[in-house]
Amino acid sequence: MPETCPFETWARDFLAWARVETGLSPATLEAYARDLRQMAEDLTKHRVKDPGKVTMQHLAEHLQRLRRERGMEPSTVTRHLATIRVFYRWLHAERRIERDPARLLERPHRWRKLPGTLTPGQMRKLVEAPTAEHSEMWLRDRAMLEIMYAAGLRASEVGTLKMNDYNDTLASVMVLGKGNKQRLVPLGDPAVNAIRQYLNECRPGLARFRDGRDKFRLFLSFSGKPLERVAVWQIVRKYAAIARVPGVHPHKLRHSFATHLLAGGADLRVVQELLGHSDINTTQVYTHVDRSRLHDVLLKHHPREGGASKPRVAHKRGVAS
């Protein structure tokens, strides 16, 4: 067996500290571990085996290889950089290294990619795809897709929804997002109707076990356990294939939720609150997505194009109103 390298030792110590001291979610810790493993493998491959001898140049070249050779999405590279910065900040604070090589690394804004979205027509096909013909769990799947699009939910948020998070009277759902931040999101009639039908006709059969395995979660698997994040991905992919809508993943429903709200005239700050973004700059990327509307908006609202200053004509009466 090869001897454990310092990268693995220090990464293990860092993850143990993060697990105990920071209270991060299991998903975040898993992402940290994956990022550090990828960094160690890549730097070791390029003859940098000691994390204490890593320079800013080594890290910059590593990030470039992730994008160029591995084809990582810009958002993934940015998250990977965040892991590296936290890791080396901890090593420096623990006095394991004299200098922090990641301190001056800048976030690669030029890599940020506009999020992919579905059209309203594609979204309609997707959420209406679940039928009794495709699955005996179609009521659950339909309710899940409807609420993901209606509330802009992340895949991880779907599985953690509890029964008392959904309020039928107020037609809303309380979502526990990143950093244990809660947000209240109103729901439209399609989502409410789908959830009601699921709760009345499907969930009672899934919650048939009395051993507490359901953990009071809203969406359950056939075995009566909470729906896992991986299962959410599989369900979305399944019905995307049935609806013949290519390139769909759970986060694309969230992107579409935000984009369609802004296209319909929603205020950016409102969309920020609904998505649970702490920084409005994160939400602002959606303002650049729907550029197809710009020409129509110009013609409709600019005074020189006959917009706001042009009187409307009531054709039946023949007078301006």
Q: Which residues are catalytic?
A: 154, 178, 251, 254, 277, 286
Sequence-distant (6+) residues with CB within 8 A of 151 are 173, 175, 185, 187, 191, 257, 274
Return the DSSP state at 4: P
Strand partners, 185: 173
Return the DSSP state at 217: B
Phi-psi region of 236 (alpha: psi -120 to 50; beta: other; left: phi over 0): alpha
Sequence-distant (6+) residues with CB within 8 A of 270 are 261
Strand 313-314 vs strand 319-320: parallel, antiparallel, or unpaired?
A: antiparallel
Q: What is the largest CA-CA distance in the chain?
A: 90
Sequence-distant (6+) residues with CB within 8 A of 226 are 159, 160, 214, 215, 217, 219, 220
Residue 27: CB atoms within 10 Å: 13
Q: Which residue matches tokens 């301006």? A: 320
Summarize the chain as % helix, strand, coil (round to 5).
60, 5, 35
- CA dihedral (179, 185, 189, 194) in degrees, to 10, reads 20
Q: Which residue matches tokens 């420096």? A: 92
